[in-house]
């Protein structure tokens, strides 16, 4: 049963990636502009352009080009960047650690911040604590990430630096291999920015879920048994309030791994999102296609992992699939 | 006071005269408005939105009053000799930007873009979500499976990545920004509506309508949809701030409104370019705070509407 469930989820994941690949491929096929010219530059001779089109198969019909693209893709070959002539897989792989560092650090922070705030709110709805938590949540949700990031850079980096105090390093990334301290120091502001905005969403979600669960009969039973409030809230209620949170987390992490585009742009982090923006500006099609597909792969994989976890925990899901 | 009386005043007077309790019948719209009017946060939020709409509508008047056109560059008046933007002053209430343009006038024209795209995209996305969700939930079976899978598919797409590739190929414009936002935001409301319709179609009044010979379209439009007005209104209101931020993000990434036309995201992007905002912080502060207050106002109003329309859910979510 579990295998069949897993099989259907994977099949759907493959379908998503297939549709995505057609989407980007057709999109760039119909795009104006001549890739040969992007590669060779403005001063290229006609003969050179013809040669490049021949080599890349750009003069063949669309379905043939797609077929070549897909067969190469299945062999792990995403082609070469029009700009740097490097393999797309290599370029993309070099950016993954940056985005992963950014996303996973931020996830830890925002869960540590958002979930307790949500729980505290739900335990005493209407209290001062709850209103404070909800105010934090609604302001955080309304704050566009790039606005918060730019304000944080100005107040916490620029003003102190001008005054001669170095609180934070200038934007950029320091690889984890060069020392974990430098790595974390460089990522602290981007983490905090991303975490504050997302923590607000999770605080709201946690509060809503917890309020629902805390009204259930079995919670009353647990209290009636004489369990401590702490045990009731954290053991009994939180456990049932978790699934929607985990689903949301999966979606968010999946999407961000494909590039926390805005945050990377604001803080000058050379991750996948920044790469995507530069590649789009440079009309570097193979790189854009590579990132979009990788982004899709992240989303699909994480969704499959989460669905499988649910299926393992709850047999009803398995049978309904 | 004497003479003309509304029915309600008449009823109240009758009650006072006779000492009996008279119950005044109120429609749900009037009840909702009364509840909303008792919530100071919602009033402030609604007031802000109305003021913003005025600011956007009368952008040309703002330009006329200041005597500055949105794209007009004041190279001598609006820039210091070193080429640094001029801070807020009597001439330029919100200062100037890196080209010596009046930030307040640009803010007004940018508000038009934010509101137009935000509201239009949300309405269109909501309409598509409602139609697809209703059809999926109502017919069920294979129709539901296919439509639900399409919604799953649309939700598993890394939307910002796809959006910027789409815009880079088709060329940025106001229409494309709107289209992209609609394309990538109709699914959540579609899912919600589908779930609600799934539950509603089992109800007796739907069966009754069917036994009376109503067509599918008539049942969906006249029996089911009116029951979903509450989630639809709440959801659509809450989609607007998300769409406004989406548009600002596209413009911030250079994939939205084409310069030199003003948009809030574009203004922030220009402020970030060459880090000019470090010397002129109002270039971030003014459009940034405008954006923040706008999304906050819509979110607060959405929450207020939810509490007013659905008092039972007021303490949840």
B87 lies in some domain: no
- B-chain residues near A266 (CB < 8 A): 272
pLDDT at A140: 92
Per-residue pLDDT, A172 = 80
Within 8 A of B281 by CB-CB distance, chain A residues are: 154
**B102 exposed, middle or buried (CB, 10 Å; 0-12, 13-18, 19+)?**
buried
Q: Rounded to whole angstroms, what are the CA distances from A147 to A138, A263, B96, B201?
A: 16, 10, 19, 45
Chain A: closest CA distance from residue B91 (Å): 26
Q: How far is residue B149 CA from its own chain's centroid?
A: 27
**3-class secondary structure, B96:** strand
Q: How far apart are CA B157 and CA B177, in angstroms?
A: 17
> A118-122, A281-285, B141-145, B265-269: which range is least confident on average?
A281-285
- C-alpha–C-alpha distance, residues B224 and B175, integer Å: 32
Comparing CB atoms, the residue among A27, A146, A265 nearest residue B169 is A27
Contact check, Cβ <8 Å, A255/B158: yes
User: How many domains are contained in chain B?
Assistant: 1
pTM metric for this prediction: 0.88
Token pair 């179609």: residue:
B201
* Cα distance between residue B317 and residue B310, in whole Å: 12
CB contact under 8 A, A261 and B254: no
Take residue A238 and report the two structure tokens written for it. 């939180």
Look at residue B33 and tell me if it is in a domain.
no
pLDDT in tens, A304-319: 898 888 877 766 655 5
Distance in angstroms (rounded) separating the CA atoms of residues A311 and B304: 37
- Mind listing the pLDDT tens digit for each residue in A87-118? 999 999 999 999 999 999 999 999 999 999 99
Cβ-defined contact of B295 to A255 (cutoff 8 Å): no
Per-residue pLDDT of A121-141, as tens digits, reads 998 888 899 999 999 999 999
Which secondary structure element, helix H or strand E, spans residue A233, and what is its range? none
* Contact yes or no for B209/B99 (Cβ under 8 A): no
Residue B54, domain extent: 42-68+94-309
Specify the pLDDT at position B316.
45
**Domain-embedded: residue B141:** yes
- Residue B182 is predicted with a pLDDT of 95
Q: Is the pLDDT of residue B192 over 80?
A: yes
For chain B positions 60-99, those within 8 Å of chain A (CB to CB) are none
- Asked, for residue B20, whether it belongs to a domain, the answer is no
Yes or no, beta carbons of B169 and A150 under 8 Å apart: no
Tell me which residue has tokens 């491929």. Answer: A25
**Residues of chain B by 3-state class (helix, strand, coil), percent to 5:** 70, 0, 25
ipTM of the complex: 0.87
List chain B residues with CB under 8 Å of A265.
Answer: 252-253, 272
Distance from the Cα of B295 to chain A's closest Cα (Å) equals 5
Contact B165 A280 (CB under 8 A): yes
B16 by Cβ neighbours in 10 Å (0-12 / 13-18 / 19+) ranks as exposed
pLDDT tens, B153-174? 888 888 888 888 888 888 889 9
Residues of B in contact with A255 (CB under 8 A): 158-160
**Distance between CA atoms of B163 and B151, rounded to whole angstroms?**
17
Range 255-284 of B in CB contact (< 8 A) with A? 255, 268, 271-272, 277-278, 281, 284
Looking at residue B28, what DSSP letter applies?
H
Decide if B5 is inside a domain: no
Are A103 and A306 contacting, i.e. CB atoms less than 8 angstroms apart? Answer: no
Q: Give me the CATH number covering residue B299.
A: 1.10.3720.10
For A143, the closest chain B residue by CA position comes to: B292
Residue A130 has a CB neighbour count (10 Å cut-off) of: 19
- On whether residue B8 sits in a domain, the answer given is no
CA dihedral (A87, A91, A97, A103) positive or negative = negative
Confidence of residue A34 (pLDDT cuts 50, 70, 90): confident
In angstroms, rounded to a whole number, what is the distance separating the alpha carbons of residues B162 and A20? 9
Contact A207, A121 (CB under 8 A): yes
* CA separation for the pair A292, A273 (Å, rounded): 10
* Cβ-Cβ contacts under 8 Å for A152 (sequence gap 6 or more): A189, A192, A193
For residues A254 and A302, is the Cβ–Cβ distance under 8 A? yes
Cβ atoms of residues A24 and A296 within 8 Å: no
Which pLDDT score, from 0 to 100, does residue B1 have? 41
B-chain residues near A32 (CB < 8 A): 169
Closest partner residue to A154 (CB to CB) among B152, B284, B291 is B284
Q: Is the pLDDT of residue B311 over 80?
A: no
Establish if B26 belongs to a structural domain. Answer: no
**How many Å apart are CA A179 and CA B288, to the nearest integer?**
35
**Residue B13 resides in a domain:** no
Nearest-angstrom CA–CA distance, A230 and B236: 38
């Amino acid at each position: 049963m579990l295998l069949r469930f897993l099989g259907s989820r994977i099949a759907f994941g493959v379908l998503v990636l297939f549709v995505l690949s057609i989407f980007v491929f057709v999109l760039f096929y119909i795009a104006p502009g001549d890739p040969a010219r992007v590669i060779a530059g403005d001063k290229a001779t006609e003969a050179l352009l013809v040669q490049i089109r021949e080599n890349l198969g750009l003069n063949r019909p669309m379905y043939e080009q797609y077929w070549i693209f897909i067969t190469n893709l299945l062999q792990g070959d995403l082609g070469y960047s029009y700009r740097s002539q490097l393999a797309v897989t290599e370029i993309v792989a070099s950016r993954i650690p940056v985005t992963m560092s950014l996303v996973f650090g931020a996830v830890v922070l925002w869960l540590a911040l958002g979930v307790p705030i949500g729980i505290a709110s739900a335990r005493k709805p209407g209290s001062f604590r709850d209103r404070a938590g909800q105010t934090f949540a609604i302001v955080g949700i309304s704050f566009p990430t790039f606005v918060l990031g730019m304000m944080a850079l100005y107040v916490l980096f620029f003003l102190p630096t001008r005054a001669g105090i170095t609180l934070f390093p200038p934007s950029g990334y320091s690889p984890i291999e060069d020392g974990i301290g430098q790595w974390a120091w460089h990522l602290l502001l981007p983490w905090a920015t991303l975490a504050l905005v997302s923590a607000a969403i999770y605080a709201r979600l946690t509060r809503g879920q917890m309020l629902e669960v805390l009204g259930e009969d079995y919670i009353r039973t647990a209290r009636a048994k004489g369990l401590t409030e702490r045990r009731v809230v954290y053991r009994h209620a939180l456990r049932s309030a978790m699934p929607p949170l985990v689903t949301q987390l999966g979606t968010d992490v999946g999407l961000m791994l494909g590039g926390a585009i805005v945050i990377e742009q604001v803080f000058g982090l050379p991750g996948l999102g920044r790469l995507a923006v530069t590649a789009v500006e440079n009309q570097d099609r193979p790189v854009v296609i590579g990132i979009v597909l990788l982004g899709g792969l992240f989303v699909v994989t994480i969704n499959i992992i989460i669905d499988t976890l649910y299926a393992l925990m709850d047999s009803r899901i398995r049978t309904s699939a | 006071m004497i003479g003309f009386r509304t029915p309600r005043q008449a009823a109240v007077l009758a009650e006072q005269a006779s000492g009996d309790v008279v119950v005044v019948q109120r429609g749900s719209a009037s009840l909702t408005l009364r509840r909303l009017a008792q919530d100071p946060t919602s009033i402030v939020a609604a007031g802000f939105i109305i003021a913003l709409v005025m600011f956007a509508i009368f952008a040309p008047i703002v330009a006329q009053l200041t005597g500055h056109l949105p794209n007009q560059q004041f190279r001598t008046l609006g820039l210091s000799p070193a080429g640094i933007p001029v801070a807020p002053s009597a001439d330029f209430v919100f200062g100037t930007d890196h080209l010596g343009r009046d930030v307040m006038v640009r803010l007004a024209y940018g508000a038009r873009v934010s509101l137009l795209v935000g509201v239009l995209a949300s309405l269109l996305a909501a309409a598509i979500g409602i139609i697809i969700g209703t059809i999926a939930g109502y017919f069920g079976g294979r129709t539901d499976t296919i439509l639900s899978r399409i919604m799953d598919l649309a939700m598993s797409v890394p939307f910002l990545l796809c959006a910027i590739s789409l815009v880079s190929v088709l060329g940025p414009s106001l229409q494309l920004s709107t289209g992209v936002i609609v394309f990538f935001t109709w699914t959540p409301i579609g899912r919600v509506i589908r779930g609600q319709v799934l539950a509603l179609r089992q109800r007796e009044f739907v069966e009754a309508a069917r036994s009376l010979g109503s067509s599918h379209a008539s049942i969906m439009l006249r029996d089911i949809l009116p029951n979903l007005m509450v989630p639809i209104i709440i959801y659509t209101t809450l989609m607007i701030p998300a769409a406004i931020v989406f548009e600002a993000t596209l413009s911030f990434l250079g994939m939205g409104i084409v310069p030199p036309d003003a948009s809030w995201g574009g203004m922030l992007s220009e402020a970030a370019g060459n880090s000019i905002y470090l010397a002129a912080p109002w270039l971030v502060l003014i459009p940034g705070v405008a954006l923040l207050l706008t999304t906050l106002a819509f979110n607060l109003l959405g929450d207020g509407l939810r509490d007013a329309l659905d008092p039972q859910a007021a303490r949840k979510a």
